[in-house]
RNA sequence: GCCGAAGUAGCUCAGUUGGUUAGAGCACGCGCUUCAUAAGCGCGUUGUCCCCGGUUCAAGUCCGGGCUUCGGCACCA
């Protein structure tokens, strides 16, 4: 009956194909959350799919462990970096396992093997004359004890003398310069006067490879078209700047062997972690590294987020190319996750950690939901929790699992028929659909694959309804017919579970127990199961309970609150404290953590800043700008100022006119694209819709100073 | 302003190389069924396929122009 398809054609389509797959390395500075999981679930599904088609797949990942923030966090927590990253790696791996993400090997960038590969690639860059060493005289903040990047230094423009300019270029005259040329430089970190300090810096002259990279990135199928386009128009159109790959001590990372006191920048050693992880796996499994990474027979795939595209499409291929490694066949980027249409937020309970989710909900639900949403494009993906419940309940429970649920019990005694019954071509058609489904998986168009599968599920349910097995059951004379109908239904179910197995490995496993076959290969969808026993039916999947969804969000909010409490050292309230808050606040530590306190300043320092109450007289949008409003404010009497403020996204002009605000009145005028701004309106918030202007209580008058 | 993507039923989306009365799921209404996890099946309602113009025997699909939305960049001290 399935003779139109050669047996196991789907399952062996990729036999002999050797595929090396990576997900981006999660940073050891934080726990895995639902946003990370988009990538790992996407990759894991793709890997499982490739295996089911007969490819030999190696899936590796590792923790990304280096950098300043790890160093500082370890200090704050009073433990070594090694302790910190070991604990975080264990937590990461626990979370991944919980979501059935199955790496072949999970390494760390802080491994000896990684250091070796870093040295190897570094050596190749050196000998191919890609490294420029420059004795750079850099500004150093003696208070904070760190070298200052350009934008952490301000001063007067060396060309036109305009004050308050950043270390790289002047907004007034447009000239560019080195921060050391700034007059009267100030560190924006501590306010200290930076010292000149000589530092050895190492750069990779990536411009030498612009032709090669252009060709490589524009190769069809290499990158998603929108990304190839973007690179072509933005980076590759101009001369590529030398890439600064070193950081001076102190830095948690690998010291550069031929440049003592300098460390490889975290983004240098992070992708090399792919090599190290592969190598470690090879050692542990008696495989030859060269067969995986040095062989042109191996197809290398990187799954990444859109934020790190240029590391993986410019620097990384450049490094591999120079060091003589084959390059990735494809770099697949995905968008960011939003929850209920917004950025994830701890206070709203949508910044959900993987571990929190797992305490309440089934990982399979998230895997299916992501699969149903993930296409080949770089679009952001929205996790609407209501939609998740509806989709999972309707598709997986109502359609797919229901097929087994409504027929398996009827054949518990008899098992499946010996011969495949007439089914009107349903099985054959579903087997043939495997090609389109496989193509969709291959192209990372999981949403399409899910749609195709659900279409098949609809047809199977219609079949059961037509055949009415429950009626056959009531007539002992129809026993054979009953068994035939259930055989068809369960085989159609079997096909669906085959196709869904990359997404729902646990369901596949349970189904193997129920029906006794093997779902290791897509070939399972081509040959019906016949004459086999059927096990006692057990529920294969629970519905999504919206109470549990709410519990996840509540737990997320609670965790944020607890973190805030411990962050500010709140202990039990003192019995003598007078006014008691009878209403609990849910102020989390998100904001403070995101922007730590600035170094202490003296009263004199503070007094330099002249804050004044002002009244907004006029406010108009600047149409050409995306974020700016042009305000006229009064400081009382005739004194007015024009201020350009980046608050358009949060305030309509008419909502501002007439109200009192606080302005920095003695801020040096700043020439901007749309005019000169004579001051600054004080506001809080992360930006976009969340900008909150400070207002004095009623009674304050324009012109009054804020002390 | 620049670059990119997208605009199809109340919602989420599908519509392959232009080809018959534009589809699915959810929601809604009516009916059937009761094997199944308040699951399933049938029938039905809802559309200026963003707008204008062009090519064509034929445009949701191709071309030109415009509008809107969302990303990214610039601008935000």
A633-643 pLDDT, tens digit each: 888 877 888 88
Task: Specify the nucleotide whose C1' lies closest to residue A465 (CA).
Answer: B41
Say how many residues make up chain A: 707
* Chain A residues 159 to 188 with C-beta below 7 Å from nucleic strand B: 164, 171
Task: Specify the nucleotide whose C1' lies closest to residue A154 (CA).
Answer: B77
- Closest to A524 in 3D by CA, of A5, A7, A74: A7
The pair phi, psi for residue A193, each rounded to 5°, is -80, 120
Place of tokens 């960011």: A336
Q: Which residue is nearest to nucleotide B4 (CA to C1')?
A: A226
Judge if the beta carbon of A221 is closer than 7 A to nucleic acid strand B.
no
Determine the average pLDDT of the residues in A504-522.
94
Q: Which residue is nearest to nucleotide B75 (CA to C1')?
A: A625
**pLDDT reported for residue A637:** 78
Task: Specify the nucleotide whose C1' lies closest to residue A233 (CA).
Answer: B3
Measured distance CA(A559)–CA(A470) in Å, rounded: 50
Measured distance CA(A7)–CA(A512) in Å, rounded: 20
CB A103 within 8 A of CB A111: no
The angle that helices A363-373 and A34-52 make with each other, rounded to 10 degrees, is: 80
Strand B bases, protein C-beta under 7 A:
1, 3-5, 12-15, 24-27, 33-37, 39-42, 70-71, 73-77
Determine the average pLDDT of the residues in A597-608.
66
Whether the model clears a pTM of 0.90, i.e. scores above it, the answer is no
Which CA distances in Å does A345 have to A15, A28, A30, A518, A565?
A: 45, 20, 15, 42, 17
- Closest to A246 in 3D by CA, of A395, A393, A112, A134: A134
Token couple for A177: 């310069």
**pLDDT reported for residue A689:** 61
**What value does the mean pLDDT of chain A take?**
83
CA of A270 to C1' of B26 (A): 43
- Closest to A119 in 3D by CA, of A242, A263, A278: A263
pLDDT reading at A559 higher than 90: no
CA of A100 to C1' of B25 (A): 27
CA of A619 to C1' of B74 (A): 22
**Which string of DSSP letters, residue by residue, matches A4-39?**
TS-TTTTTTTTTT-EEEEEEPPPBTTS--BHHHHHH
Measured distance CA(A420)–CA(A327) in Å, rounded: 48
Helix (H, G, I), strand (E, B) or coil at A683: strand
**pLDDT reported for residue A622:** 73
> How many separate helices (H) and strands (E) can be counted in chain A?
23, 26
Helix (H, G, I), strand (E, B) or coil at A95: helix
pLDDT reading at A87 higher than 90: yes
Confidence band for A375, pLDDT divided at 50, 70 and 90: confident
* Chain A residues 232 to 251 with C-beta below 7 Å from nucleic strand B: 233-234
> Which alpha helices (H) appear in A142-265, and where do they start and end?
210-218, 225-234
How far is residue A657 CA from its own chain's centroid?
Answer: 41
Judge if the beta carbon of A462 is closer than 7 A to nucleic acid strand B.
yes
* Chain A residues 78 to 117 with C-beta below 7 Å from nucleic strand B: none
Judge if the beta carbon of A377 is closer than 7 A to nucleic acid strand B.
yes
Helix (H, G, I), strand (E, B) or coil at A177: coil
CA of A143 to C1' of B5 (A): 46
């Amino acid at each position: 009956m399935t003779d139109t398809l050669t047996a196991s054609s789907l399952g062996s389509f990729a036999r002999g194909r050797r595929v090396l797959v990576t997900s981006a390395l999660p940073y050891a500075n934080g726990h895995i959350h639902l946003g990370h999981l988009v990538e790992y679930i996407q990759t894991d599904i793709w890997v499982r799919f490739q295996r089911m088609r007969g490819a030999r797949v190696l899936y590796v990942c590792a923790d990304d462990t280096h950098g300043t923030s790890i160093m500082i966090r370890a200090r704050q927590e009073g433990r070594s970096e090694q302790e910190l990253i070991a604990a975080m790696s264990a937590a990461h791996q626990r979370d991944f396992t919980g979501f059935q993400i199955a790496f072949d090997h999970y390494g760390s960038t802080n491994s000896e093997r990684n250091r070796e590969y870093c040295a190897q690639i570094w050596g190749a860059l050196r000998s191919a004359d890609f490294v420029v060493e420059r004795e750079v005289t850099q500004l150093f903040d003696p208070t904070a004890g760190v070298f200052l990047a350009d934008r952490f230094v301000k001063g007067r423009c060396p060309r036109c003398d305009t004050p308050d300019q950043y270390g790289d270029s002047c907004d007034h005259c447009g000239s560019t310069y080195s921060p050391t040329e700034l007059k009267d430089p100030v560190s924006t970190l501590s306010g200290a006067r930076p010292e000149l300090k000589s530092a050895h810096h190492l750069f990779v002259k990536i411009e030498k490879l612009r032709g090669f990279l252009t060709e490589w990135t524009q190769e069809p199928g290499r990158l998603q078209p929108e990304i190839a386009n973007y690179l072509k128009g933005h980076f590759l159109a101009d001369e590529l700047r030398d890439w600064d790959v070193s950081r001076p001590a102190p830095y948690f990372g690998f010291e550069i062997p031929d440049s003592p006191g300098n460390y490889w920048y975290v983004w240098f050693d992070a992708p090399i972690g792919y090599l190290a992880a592969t190598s470690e796996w090879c050692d542990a499994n008696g495989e030859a590294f060269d067969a995986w990474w040095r062989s042109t027979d191996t197809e290398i795939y990187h799954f990444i987020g859109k934020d790190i595209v240029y590391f993986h499409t410019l620097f990384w291929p450049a490094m591999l190319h120079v060091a003589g490694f084959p390059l990735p066949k494809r770099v697949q980027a995905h968008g960011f996750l939003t929850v209920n249409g917004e950025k994830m937020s701890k206070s709203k309970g949508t910044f959900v950690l993987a571990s929190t989710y797992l305490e309440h909900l089934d990982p399979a639900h998230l895997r299916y939901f992501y699969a149903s949403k993930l296409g080949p494009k770089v679009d952001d993906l929205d996790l609407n929790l209501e939609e998740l419940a509806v989709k999972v309940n309707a598709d997986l429970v109502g359609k797919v699992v229901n097929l087994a649920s409504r027929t398996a019990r009827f054949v518990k005694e008899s098992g499946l028929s010996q011969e495949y019954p007439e089914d009107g071509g349903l099985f054959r058609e579903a087997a043939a659909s495997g090609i389109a489904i496989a193509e969709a998986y291959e192209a990372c168009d999981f949403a399409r694959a899910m749609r195709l599968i659900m279409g098949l599920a609809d047809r199977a349910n219609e079949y059961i309804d037509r055949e009415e097995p429950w009626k056959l059951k009531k007539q002992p004379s129809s026993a054979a017919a009953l068994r035939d109908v259930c055989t068809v239904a369960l085989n159609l179910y079997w096909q669906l579970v085959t196709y869904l197995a990359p997404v729902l490995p646990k369901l596949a496993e349970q189904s193997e127990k129920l029906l006794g076959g093997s779902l290791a290969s897509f070939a399972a969808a081509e040959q019906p199961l016949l004459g086999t026993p059927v096990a006692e039916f057990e529920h294969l999947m629970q519905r999504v309970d919206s109470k549990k969804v709410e519990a996840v969000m509540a737990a997320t909010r609670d965790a944020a609150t607890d973190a805030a409490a411990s962050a500010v050292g709140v202990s039990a309230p003192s019995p003598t404290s007078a006014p008691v808050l009878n209403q609990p606040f849910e102020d989390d530590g998100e904001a403070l953590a995101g922007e730590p306190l600035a170094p202490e300043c003296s009263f004199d320092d503070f007094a330099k800043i002249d804050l004044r109450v002002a009244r907004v007289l006029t406010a108009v949008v600047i149409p050409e700008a995306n974020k700016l409003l042009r305000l006229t404010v009064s400081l009382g009497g005739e004194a007015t100022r024009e201020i350009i403020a980046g608050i358009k996204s949060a305030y309509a002009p008419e909502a501002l006119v007439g109200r009192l605000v606080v302005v920095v009145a003695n801020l040096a005028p700043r020439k901007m694209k749309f005019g000169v701004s004579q001051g600054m309106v004080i506001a809080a918030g992360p930006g976009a819709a969340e900008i909150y202007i400070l207002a004095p209580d009623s009674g304050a008058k324009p012109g009054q100073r804020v002390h």
